[in-house]
A and B are shown apart, each in its own frame.
Chain A
């Protein structure tokens, strides 16, 4: 009797989430894959074309350009957010005053909408307002002044760096948690042995947080693949596609150009990259500890 009641209970309690999840996630993915095999504008008839979309994508120079842009973001994120985040976490663990203030300030950008970051930086980099260029001139780096939002050669950096700025705080707090979980004795014994702060950092802290660095890298890659808001608000991915990520190209095709099936194919590649990277990275470097 209890068994049957349990089954009824389970079905009842699972159904709201199960219905929503199966429809808009599981079934949606299957539909997505199906659409990549068609030629469809989003309305009207579709025709079945097998893998022609994928073939077109592989031969599409625009696709590889935006992939390169996304990759630039990944690289900038990995090379800036991890070292700086780790360094800041290490410093905070060594000082006595201001812990709460610094931590609050460094993490603050993480909680706001990415679209807000996009709009803020489109104003800060705006040459009519001249904040960025003025700042560079004031600290003697006037020769670095640029047309931040219009120069096709650097606009990818103009949209990528605000993204790095916004989410560095996440890396900072996970490194901080890792450092704080190192037993005090390990650090103290290093100091007793005569090491200064910087030596302690290299020889003691880094090996112990290697696992967390892996997590940081996975976050960088999966996060960068999803990036959209900041670039879209700042430059609409332009000029041309010089500041477009893969997701922006997807949006352009699926929504703006009514080439829905090609857009979905691009979206599929985001899924493939994300899953493949996570699985392969974990396999190579082993399971990372989860707090």
Chain B
């Protein structure tokens, strides 16, 4: 009697486990399939994509990539996006800790300032993007590289300050006080002591910002119409519009657009997951 109930329970647990694994495997496959299919199709020619969609190519064609890079301008867009993302993120990483430090440590009654800065988190960019376009047009900088980067930086300030203030509040006051006793100025204390300690917080907002900049579509769509300055997501739109039948070319473009962030993901997976959820949680 006892033996059979024991094995019955064990069997039920085993079935439950098999079920869980199956569902996890099935869902993971669903997540990974579009990536693998895109990679696979990008090295085939059109007829193979149409006829033998899921198999390895009979003839491996690598010319979709050079064609996407030059003819379809994806190379230009790729480099532009990298440039904008790198410069915007770097600037953000310098100016937002400066503000966060003032809010967290320098200003005594900082609630108003803090609330003011973090209001922006609740504001969806649609409401600020169009007027920003008008402002930039008025300033004469529309359709220039700085316009896009200024927009990227401005729209990320609230979130970055929010995360950094939270982080800086945990830095022990004794460190600064020791520096002051030794005669250091606030500026020195900031750059030599606070900034290096804030590295984890900086990593979080850096990754979040870089990702936002690389992945963004609506902001460049509105601010940039000069083909030489466009970003890679706009390039994807061009592929859909102009090369809508050249599936090999399109998938090569798709791969170009996701390869950098996927590589970053493989290397920095922990920070990315943490950064993106931190960003989402305060939305």
Q: List A residues at the B interface (Cβ < 8 Å).
A: 5-6, 9-10, 13-14, 16-18, 20-21, 23-29, 31-32, 35, 42, 84, 87-88, 91-92, 94-95, 98, 101-102, 104-124, 128-131, 134, 165, 169-170, 173-174, 177, 196-198, 215, 218-219, 222-223, 225-226, 228-229, 232-233, 247, 250-251, 254-255, 260, 263-264, 267-268, 270-271, 274-275, 278, 290-291
Contact = CB atoms under 8 A, between A and B. Distances in A.
Interface string B109-137: 00000000101101111111111101100
A21 B99 CA distance: 11
Contacts of B62: none
19 contacts: A9-B187, A10-B107, A13-B98, A17-B95, A17-B99, A17-B117, A24-B128, A25-B128, A26-B119, A94-B20, A98-B21, A113-B214, A113-B217, A115-B237, A130-B53, A174-B280, A197-B16, A198-B16, A274-B124
A229 B218 contact: yes
B161 interface: yes
B248 to A, nearest CB: 11
A98 to B, nearest CB: 7
A5 to B, nearest CB: 7
Nearest to A222: B283
Nearest to B154: A24
Nearest to B22: A91
A263 B31 contact: no
Given A17-B157, A219-B283, A226-B124, A35 B277 contact: no
The list of the 7 closest CB pairs from A to B, nearest first, reads A24-B154, A105-B28, A113-B215, A115-B233, A31-B131, A91-B20, A16-B95
A24 B132 contact: yes
Contact of A24 (B21, B102, B151, B185): B151
A105 B24 CA distance: 10
A55 B63 CA distance: 55
Interface stretch (B64-72, B171-179, B256-264): B256-264
Given A17-B161, A105-B31, A120-B254, A28 B273 contact: no
Nearest to B239: A119
Contacts of B122: 274-275, 278
B32 interface: yes
Given A21-B117, A112-B261, 20 more contacts: A9-B185, A9-B186, A20-B157, A24-B151, A25-B155, A29-B128, A35-B131, A94-B17, A98-B24, A105-B28, A105-B31, A111-B211, A112-B257, A113-B232, A117-B34, A170-B276, A219-B283, A225-B124, A229-B233, A255-B222
B130 A24 contact: no
Contact of B154 (A9, A20, A169, A215): A20
Contacts of A116: 233, 236, 254, 257-258
Contact of A108 (B35, B131, B161, B247): B35
Given A21-B154, A32-B127, A106-B31, A114 B217 contact: yes
A112 B13 CA distance: 37
B28 A122 contact: no
A263 to B, nearest CB: 7
Interface in B3-18: 12-13, 16-17
Given A25-B154, A170-B280, A275-B122, A118 B236 contact: yes
A268 B127 contact: yes
Contacts of A233: 217, 236-237, 240
Interface in B85-120: 95-96, 98-99, 101-102, 106-107, 117, 119-120
B27 interface: yes
B154 A131 contact: no
Nearest to B283: A222
Contacts of B12: 196
A108 B32 contact: yes
B247 A20 contact: no
A219 B161 CA distance: 20
Interface string B11-55: 011001100110110011011101101100100000001100100
Given A31-B131, A113-B217, A173-B277, A223 B283 contact: yes
A181 B35 CA distance: 32
Given A104-B269, A114-B215, A21 B158 contact: yes
A254 B129 CA distance: 11
B53 A134 contact: yes
